Structure 1
Amino acid sequence: MGELKWYVVRSVSGQEKKAKQYLETEIGRHGLSELVPQVLIPAEKVYEMRNGKKRVRERNFFPGYILIHADLSHGEVDHIITSTPGVIGFLSDKEGKTANTKPVPLRMAEVNRILGIVDEAEEETASLDTPFVVGELVKVVDGAFSGFSGNVSEIFDERKKLNVIVKIFGRSTPMELSYTQVEKES
């Protein structure tokens, strides 16, 4: 048995999840789960504010690409992977040339960097997709002052918080709010 290495597989953009499901089904059907133990789509969870509601969605780091941990020394593994619906082929060293293009494994430094980003994204609850700008008009959508509007005076990106100046009874009052407590006024 050969060595397990990480490879990049190109898939139809926007259909990475479907291609991953097909790959996992084919690998299981052919009894190759020891030769292909992991299929991964590097993604992070991000918050979006839509119509005053907080939604979480997944955003792919590399649209159109799937990572596969596999041992390609076994003859049929790469053929099964490339003949799966939604899979275009392996990322190789001779892109575009058809004659004997051999899949090139990722370097461990690259794999660790990608997996580290994925792990951080899982540990972090979720980041907000739309950062704010100083002076921007925002509406408070959560907390005691829900419904009030104000201007962003400071941004603390590392803590995901904002200082917002809200007029309460005619007086400007500074408030520290998290990104998820406000939304942009349209």
Structure 2
Amino acid sequence: MESWYLLYCKRGEQQRAKMHLENQSIGCYYPEVEVEKIVRGKRKRVLEALFPSYIFIGLDMSTSPSFTTIRSTRGVMDFVRFGGQPYQVPVSLIEQLKQCENHDDLDCTQLPQSGQVIQIKSGQFAGFDAIYQEPDGEKRSILFITLINQQVKVKVDNNDVVWR
């Protein structure tokens, strides 16, 4: 019967570890999510690790390599452990992650159009109406608010605004 474990990998070497583990006939699950980023001023969709530096592996203890062999695989640091023993991840968690991975959570149409009026719900400008200008990275937006009869450009966290 297959059991799932969690491996901690060297920084930025999850893909390498996955490749070397798969070469040893070890089942790997490396969940990735597609996110929109602004790279050099252009909007791009890129794949990023859902859990950076971690890989789930499925092992059948009767046929799999030893824990020592797995730990010495290129890119792998060690098993995630509790009480000195490698933590066995519930199969239900892996199944839920695989189901969620198939859904596209990021919908680019959710961003307001430039010039659209939005409301700031929290933060230092809470309660103000603002005019959406453009995104500023992944988590902020540039807005125009009116202060003392003058429009001021501000950067606000996307969690602090309500799109109408």
User: Counterpart in 1 of 2:101?
Assistant: 118
Q: d(CA) in 1 for partners of 2:40 and 2:87? A: 46
User: Counterpart in 2 of 1:150?
Assistant: 115
Q: d(CA) in 2 for partners of 1:75 and 1:46? A: 34
CA drift of 1:71 comes to: 1.1
Equivalent pair of 1:11/1:19 in contact (CA under 8 Å): yes
User: Counterpart in 2 of 1:11?
Assistant: 9
CA drift of 1:66 comes to: 0.3
Q: Which amino acid aligns with 1:71?
A: D
Kindly report the root-mean-square deviation, in angstroms, between the aligned alpha carbons of the 2 structures. 3.3
3-state SS in 1 of match to 2:81: coil
For structure 1, which runs of at least 5 residues remain unmatched after alignment?
28-32, 95-100, 133-137, 141-148, 156-163, 167-181
Q: Does 1:64 align with 2:53?
A: yes
Distance 1:109 1:76, change over 3 A: closer
Aligned residues: 128
CA drift of 1:114 comes to: 2.0
Distance 1:50 1:117, change over 3 A: same
Once structures 1 and 2 are overlaid, which stretch shifts more, 50-59 or 78-87?
50-59
User: Counterpart in 2 of 1:53?
Assistant: 42
For structure 2, which runs of at least 5 residues remain unmatched after alignment?
121-129, 137-141, 143-154, 156-164
Q: d(CA) in 1 for partners of 2:7 and 2:91? A: 17
User: Counterpart in 1 of 2:126?
Assistant: none
After superposition, the C-alpha distances for 1:104-160 in whole angstroms (9 at most, x for unaligned) are 32112322222222222xxx28445xx86xxxxx8x6xxxxxxxx5244269xxxxx
Equivalent pair of 1:150/1:165 in contact (CA under 8 Å): yes
Q: d(CA) in 1 for partners of 2:64 and 2:33? A: 34
3-state SS in 2 of match to 1:80: helix
Distance 1:51 1:18, change over 3 A: same
The normalised TM-score by structure 1 is 0.55
After superposition, the C-alpha distances for 1:41-62 in whole angstroms (9 at most, x for unaligned) are 1110011234553211122221
Distance 1:152 1:51, change over 3 A: farther
Q: d(CA) in 1 for partners of 2:7 and 2:79? A: 4
Alignment partner of 2:29 out of 29, 32, 40:
40
CA drift of 1:64 comes to: 1.4
Q: Which amino acid aligns with 1:7?
A: Y
Which structure dedicates a bigger proportion of its chain to strand? Answer: 2
Q: d(CA) in 2 for partners of 1:89 and 1:73? A: 21
Q: d(CA) in 2 for partners of 1:70 and 1:127? A: 36
